[in-house]
Chain A
Amino acid sequence: MNGAQNNLIKKGYQWLDDRLHINSLVEYMSSKAVPQHSHSIFYYLGGITLFLFIVQVITGILLLMYYRPGADSAYESVKFIVSEVSFGWLIRAIHSWSANLMVLAAFLHMFTVFFTRAYRKPREMTWYTGMGLLALSMTFGFSGYLLPWNELAFFATRVGTGMAGAMPVIGDYLMVIMRGGEEVTGATIGRFFGLHVAILPLLTTGLLTLHMIFIQRQGMSEPMNWAGKKQEDKKYMKFFPNFIYRDALVWLVALNILALLAVIFPDGIGVVHWPLGIKADPFAAPPAVIRPEWYFMFAFQALKMLPAHIWFLEGELFGIIVFGLGGLIWMLIPLLDRRANENKRSPMIMAFGTFVVLFMVVMTIVGYLVE
């Protein structure tokens, strides 16, 4: 029976190969090698992010079947999904968990790339597209948060878009464009929905394709200290099948964790939670504690802690300018870190990176401790 099964697979493969020349593709992949060293584990982070993104696409499309944007239907339809549709609670729980884990995985991916300085020549463009993808993920999170139109989301979005309104020159216009008016209303849902299910997926697909092509063309980045090593001292693993199998194993584990989290904590856990709660009421008093999603917490808290005025600028404006500049520097790291291309240490860059990580961690913790 087993033999017959194998035979069938072989025949199918043969059929495809006759037409698409799969063999050459497999040969190409088999010739590729993944460096093996103490930090090899970092190579899986991008794959995990990709896996979670695929989960997002699938569960997102499923949710789209029942979701209805609009001030008087959004909340009701999400409620309908979680209460009446079979497994609706599960799909929403997976979508929410996967969203948070995806942003987490993307952040970890970025920092490991940063500290192993894998962005150095020739991989600058991979870094730029990656940064773009991270920004898109966060926008995904921000826009998706509002869609259930519950109290929690409404006030967080009002505060979030309000902060965008503090930006110099374009702030007011940007806020009106984002909100679809002066206030967060049903019009805002329409915009965020369009962004969440059309604009962002389109951009993400484009950038992701580029990001993946770059990686396939260039292969995995080798550690900096391999530069002077003799070829026989370097250890490699075949990309196909060894690395692919390992990737699949990691994905299976990720799926298992995702399923466990979604069933046991369908509404999230601790501060990372998304209970449907009550419907948004623009005229109701805002809840005592309004918090953004955890990955915006550091920025939210830092802006909150700034004094009302710094020099001649408003505190919030000053904060946004600093964050904007910081983000730009971070994005342009491949240009600034010239020493990396010459395989030299660059303590300044490492110090900057360490500072950023510490700043984000401390501010996030402070944000959750301070009411």
Chain B
Amino acid sequence: MSDNNSRRNFLSWLTGLGSLAFLGSIIYPAYKFLVPPESGEANVSQVKLPFTRSEIEGEEKKAKTFKFGRTLGLIVLTGEGELKAMSATCTHLDCTVQHRPDLGIIWCSCHNGRYDLDGKNISGPPPKPLELYIVNEIKGEIFVSKETA
């Protein structure tokens, strides 16, 4: 009889534990879901650059690349002190382009493709311009956005 009793006790203890585990397996994912991920929010057609103007200025080439959705972007500090951002993928064979402050152009080293600072293809193999983005500087932070139709 006491044997039976302790077995019943054990089973109801196990059921209680199981119920807790059950609640846990529902609450844990829901809680983790609600914890905001590092990147904060879904970046849509705008991205805040993780660096400042002075960091771009500090670069030897007066330019930095950044991630914009699935594409790589290039932000350039022109001789006139203007920030310009565009897609960094060459329209010829998908190499990554770079700023050439010495020539005042955007340059693709793969086949000497050249673009002006507005992303327009000016010489070499590139068949089309680079997509130009809109740059906004607010309180020292740089925001790059895509032109919306």
Contact = CB atoms under 8 A, between A and B. Distances in A.
Q: Taking the complex as a whole, does A directly touch B, i.e. does some CB pair lie under 8 Å apart?
A: yes
A65 B34 contact: yes
Interface residues on B, range: 20 to 34
B32 A66 contact: no
Interface in A77-123: 77, 79-81, 84-88, 90-91
B54 interface: no
B39 A86 contact: no
A84 B33 CA distance: 10
B94 to A, nearest CB: 18
Interface residues of A, number: 22
**Most-contacted residue by chain A among B16, B39, B42 (CB, 10 A):** B42
Interface in A49-89: 58, 62, 65-66, 68, 72-73, 76-77, 79-81, 84-88
Contacts of A231: none
A225 interface: no
B42 A62 contact: no
Interface string B19-38: 00000000001101111011
A24 interface: no
Interface string A208-237: 000000000000000000000000000000
Contacts of B29: 86-87, 90-91
Contact of A72 (B30, B34, B148): B148
Nearest to A66: B42
Contacts of A87: 29-30, 32-33
A2 interface: yes
B38 to A, nearest CB: 8
Interface string B41-82: 111110000000000000000000000010000000000000
A58 B13 CA distance: 29
Interface of chain A, main secondary structure: helix
Given A88-B33, A90-B29, A73 B42 contact: yes
A84 B37 contact: yes
A67 to B, nearest CB: 9
Contacts of A77: 42, 44
A62 B44 contact: no
B12 interface: yes
From A62, A84, A88, A90, residue with most partner B Cβ within 10 Å: A84
Contacts of B41: 66, 80
B9 interface: yes
